[in-house]
Chains A and B, each alone.
Chain A
Amino acid sequence: MAAAGWLSKEVAVIAVPIVTILFGILIGWLGQRSGFCSIGGFRDFFMFRHTRLLFGYLALIGGAFIGYFVFWLITPLAFEHFFWYMTSGLTPVPGAPAGLLVTGYIILAIIGGIAVGLIGVLLGGCPLRQLVMTSEGNVKALIFVVGMCIGAVVFTAWLSGWVVALLKGLGIA
């Protein structure tokens, strides 16, 4: 059963680029004004016990939960699997490579998370911060974004399939 949102499917397919680009412009503006950064939040907290950015990231988690909860009360059909753990148990929300066992997803989450945190700290920011710095005229951040674009193609074209095959071969997926 397809999830039913507030717009009908015919309208929604046209609205997707318009709504998302407006949402993006707002995030970009706010991100530039506040210096919002997820990995930077953890970094500042662990190095200086400085909580300004960390509380921003925690507020994002809280805001998302409040938003999903309130809108789910109004239109449950648009938020079919909220609260995910209650409806779907330990499976992840789709997005990571599909068709693995729970163990496989946990392994990917741990390896991916550690690498993301590590790279983010060493290169001075999470992806949103890199996008914002690109728009502020930082050439290094621009190169990072170009690298992300290359990484996307490399991942979907090759790596994703290889790692899923590897995990399946090892019997943990």
Chain B
Amino acid sequence: MIKFKNNYLKFIIMAETKANENKTILDGLARNPITVGILIGILAAFVQGLLISAGGPEAYGFCVACHTRDVVNDAVNSIAGTKLAIAPISLNAILPVLTVIGVLIGAFISAKVYKEFKTKTGSAISYIWYLLGGVFFMVFALFMGGCPYRVALRVGYGDVIAFIGLLAIIAGVLAGIKIATAMAEREG
């Protein structure tokens, strides 16, 4: 347990020192999760105002799970001629919502600009766990109606079911911490 906690502490201290060596005011704001959160929230509302005529659902400005589903299902539909369900906004538009592709590009540019790009590999076993984790994460997130980000937007939009989902996420995190510390203890 101590080893497991120490690993995370090291990671947090690293992030803290990174946050403190501000070079410019703008980069300082970009490194502050609070300004980032407020900005993403307001812009998600702005994007809905801009694009809602193309189709629903509401509170759909940013969601990693749903937007990935739209892109993947749209691609599979075009290639294999299937009719997998996608959100109306992606169905009506000339191309589906590309937020996820944008995130990959934006983070890659930023990592390159600030010289933080570094290839990290893992063991074959860990790849299997991450692959299964990705599959199950997506399935359960879609049952809930969105990843933690869309849940946040829906809570802001006044959706009680999403608030229940948020409480369930917290319960899941607590359970996950218990399991992770138990596993780390057994390994010593």
What residues on B are CB-neighbors of A52 within 8 Å? 12, 15-16, 19, 33
What residues on B are CB-neighbors of A140 within 8 Å? 120-122, 126-127, 130
What total count of A-B pairs have CB within 8 Å? Answer: 550
Interface residues of A in 38-91 (CB under 8 A from B): 38-39, 41-44, 46-48, 50, 52-53, 55-68, 70-71, 75, 78-86, 90-91
- In the bound assembly, the distance between CA atoms of A93 and B57 in angstroms comes to 7
- In the bound assembly, the distance between CA atoms of A158 and B59 in angstroms comes to 26
CB-contact partner of B171 in A17, A29, A117, A119, under 8 A? A117
Q: A123-B129, A153-B84 are in contact. Are A112 and B51 (CB under 8 A)?
A: no
- In the bound assembly, the distance between CA atoms of A92 and B150 in angstroms comes to 12
CB-contact partner of A61 in B48, B114, B156, under 8 A? B156
Interface string of B96-128 (1 = CB under 8 A from A): 111111111111111100101111111000110
What residues on A are CB-neighbors of B35 within 8 Å? 59
CB-contact partner of B46 in A42, A67, A95, A108, under 8 A? A67
**Residue of B with least CB distance to A65:** B156
Find out whether the CB atom of A55 lies under 8 angstroms from the CB atom of B34: yes
What residues on B are CB-neighbors of A153 within 8 Å? 72-73, 76, 84
Find out whether the CB atom of A78 lies under 8 angstroms from the CB atom of B118: no
What residues on B are CB-neighbors of A110 within 8 Å? 164-165, 168
Find out whether the CB atom of A132 lies under 8 angstroms from the CB atom of B103: yes
Does A21 sit within 8 A of B, measured CB to CB?
yes
Separation in Å of the A56 CB from the closest CB of chain B?
Answer: 3
CB-contact partner of A94 in B50, B57, B130, under 8 A? B57
Q: How large is the interface on A (under 10, 10 to 19, 20 to 34, 35 or more residues)?
A: 35 or more
What residues on B are CB-neighbors of A170 within 8 Å? none
What residues on A are CB-neighbors of B72 within 8 Å? 149, 152-153
Find out whether the CB atom of B27 lies under 8 angstroms from the CB atom of A5: no
- In the bound assembly, the distance between CA atoms of A7 and B52 in angstroms comes to 8
- In the bound assembly, the distance between CA atoms of A19 and B44 in angstroms comes to 11
What residues on B are CB-neighbors of A150 within 8 Å? 131, 134-135, 138
Find out whether the CB atom of A23 lies under 8 angstroms from the CB atom of B47: yes
Q: A112-B141, A113-B165 are in contact. Are A139 and B122 (CB under 8 A)?
A: yes
CB-contact partner of B152 in A19, A60, A106, A139, under 8 A? A60
Q: A24-B99, A123-B130 are in contact. Are A82 and B69 (CB under 8 A)?
A: no
Q: Which residues of B contact A (CB under 8 A)?
A: 5, 8-9, 12, 15-16, 19, 27, 30-69, 72-73, 76, 82, 84-85, 87, 89-90, 92-111, 114, 116-122, 126-127, 129-162, 164-177, 179-180
Q: Which residues of A contact B (CB under 8 A)?
A: 2-9, 12-17, 19-36, 38-39, 41-44, 46-48, 50, 52-53, 55-68, 70-71, 75, 78-86, 90-97, 102, 105-106, 108-123, 126-128, 130-132, 134-141, 143-157, 159-160, 163
Add 17 more A-B contacts to A9-B53, A28-B102, A102-B161 (CB < 8 A): A3-B56, A5-B48, A9-B92, A17-B97, A20-B67, A25-B102, A29-B106, A30-B40, A32-B114, A50-B12, A56-B32, A80-B58, A92-B154, A94-B145, A109-B165, A113-B171, A137-B120
